[in-house]
Amino acid sequence: MSRTRTALLAALALVAGTAGAAVAAAPPDVGAAAVPCTVEYKVQNQWDTGFTTAVTVTNNSAAKSSWAVKWSYAGNQKVTSGWNAKLSQSGTAVTAANESYNGPLGAGSSVSFGFNGTYSGTNALPTAFTLDGVTCNVDDGGTDPTDPTDPTDPGTGSRVDNPYAGAKVYVNPEWKAKAAAETGGSRIANQPTGVWLDRIAAIDGVNGGMGLRDHLDAALTQKGSDELVVQLVIYNLPGRDCAALASNGELGPTEIDKYKTDYIDPIAAILADTKYAGLRIVTTVEIDSLPNLVTNVTPRATATANCDTMKANGNYVKGVGYALNKLGDAPNVYNYVDAGHHGWLGWDDNFAPSAALFKEAASAEGATVADVHGFIVNTANYSATKEAYFTVNDSVNGASVRTSKWIDWNRYVDEQSYAQAMRAQLVSIGFPSGIGMLIDTSRNGWGGTARPTAAGPTTSVDTYVDGGRYDRRIHLGNWCNQSGAGLGERPQAAPATGIDAYVWMKPPGESDGSSTAIDNDEGKGFDRMCDPTYTGNPRNNNNMSGALANAPLSGHWFSAQFQELMKNAYPAL
């Protein structure tokens, strides 16, 4: 997929940016003032022998420079891996201590961490927690079905503030089977991933595979008596992905009517079926479309004829608006619009114009901003969620890090700070204040031996940034099957302020595009950015592509990439 931007080469006035932070500051809760701390412990995903949990700790007492949370299990639960905390276990007793980057915990501030664990029999919730030896009040994240004010009241089919809160997420059986068939793949085969509806035939199922109704029926089985989110990728605009070739679609630039009647309308009809009213259906609407109309059109140096055509005919804006309008009619559907990523839209000449274009699309073809529940960033991309060893406000020997070759005057250095800033911008121009953001963390872990463990040398801004950055790509504009990439943060709800969830919308192991030209009937072309021998173009400042060799067509299974992602996973598997 096209992940590009136009460099802002002129000198810019420096202003404060928003660096990613593990601790989300919030005003103290007056009602909880008598309680020194509170702990919210939520089991986000559970299967036969394992579970994923998110924990949020709020400090209502004096500020701390470090912290440690402790609890004990009543059963045989074992913590196997975690993130955003150093986790240890002795018998049934567990300790979660701060990492080097999230030790400070102010009065009224919260910190979140998560972990995976195993169990057999029952997985009873812990009943008591301490913060630095002081007993905390506990919120187990449950819901009260008798309370009409409960924002996560189950089973009503009406929208909730965050669809991921208190819910399991659908595990695609087709992806699960492919992952489990790989050596070591069973470690992640139960993770939830997006279902990509990338052509009309996908609605009924391609080559005997599962169609939309098949997935929704399977989701009902997985749901049981719990809440469950199903993640769908709506991805079939006319003239799709105008700045790339690997992910071109089946519809020509002018086929907007076919997009509406043969693609969106059938999907909307299925989602409106009352059989599925108890599911929380998240749609991520038209990846890569609208940002291309900002960065890859005339007079930009990165302009393409195809993107100029799509801007002139308005079919991206019309298509997105139509999809939001029709899909948003069902009360259990949550529309999230693609908002690129920080290495695409984080520059001043891209940021605000992109937000304005998102609003234009959300007001087209009968849609309103109320049809948008939120936005998604980093879909199928590799940008790090949070950089720990530098911020956009740092300087080296008097020079701002924004002058480094890697940051190149961007105002954001990672996805979380970008997502939070984009959310604020969108609210400021008229989107509802309750919109949330999703971050695709499926392939942005950048673990393994190349992962930095400290800031880079302060010889120059370039050595400082390059030595400390998690994202090990050659250039931020590289987007195809990146060498050295790893699985990122596991899917989890509400990991940070304004972020509804970390998600794996791009199923790990599915190719971004073929390394060489391959004849096909899917409308997919050959993009040199997927060729490991390619020396680049203006969109990546003429750098090598960084792509893996021997890749198949986009969307097809790429075993070598899957193994690379597991090897470089962070948190490690």
The single-letter code of the amino acid at 501 is: A
- Residue 126 is classified by DSSP as P
Peptide linkage before 299 cis (omega within 30 of 0): yes
By the 10 Å C-beta count (0-12 exposed, 13-18 middle, 19+ buried), 469 is classed as buried
User: Are the C-beta atoms of residues 512 and 246 closer than 8 Å to each other?
Assistant: yes
Residue 1 in contact with residue 244, Cβ under 8 Å? yes
Tokens at residue 561, please?
Answer: 């990439």
Phi, psi for residue 103 in degrees, rounded to 5: -70, -45
The stretches of 77-202 forming alpha helices (DSSP H) are 173-181
Location of structure tokens 């949370």: 69
Quick check: is 257 catalytic?
A: no
Q: Which two tokens stand for residue 360?
A: 């234009």
- What is the 3-state composition of the chain as percent helix, strand, coil, each rounded to the nearest 5? 25, 20, 55
Q: Give the phi and the psi of residue 269 in degrees, each rounded to 5.
A: -65, -40
How many residues comprise the chain?
Answer: 573
Name the β-bridge partners of 557: 510
What does the alpha-carbon distance between residue 248 and residue 255 come to, in Å, rounded to a whole number? 14
User: CA 360 to CA 536: how far, in whole Å?
Assistant: 33
**Cα distance between residue 564 and residue 73, in whole Å:** 35
Select which of 241, 288, 371, 462 is catalytic. Answer: 288
Name, in order, each residue with C-beta under 8 angstroms of 394's C-beta and a sequence gap of 6 or more.
400, 401, 464
Q: Tell me if residue 116 falls in helix, strand or coil.
A: strand
What's the longest Cα–Cα distance across the chain?
68
**How many whole angstroms separate alpha carbon 554 and alpha carbon 176?**
18
Buried b (16+ CB within 10 A) or exposed e, 232-256: bbbbbbbbbbbbbbbbbbbbebebb
Active site residue 288: yes
- Note the Cα 341 to chain centre separation in Å: 10
Active-site option among 241, 371, 440, 512 = 512
What's the distance, Cα to Cα, between the start and end of the chain in Å? 27
Strands 399-400 and 280-285: unpaired
Q: Which residues form the catalytic set?
A: 288, 512
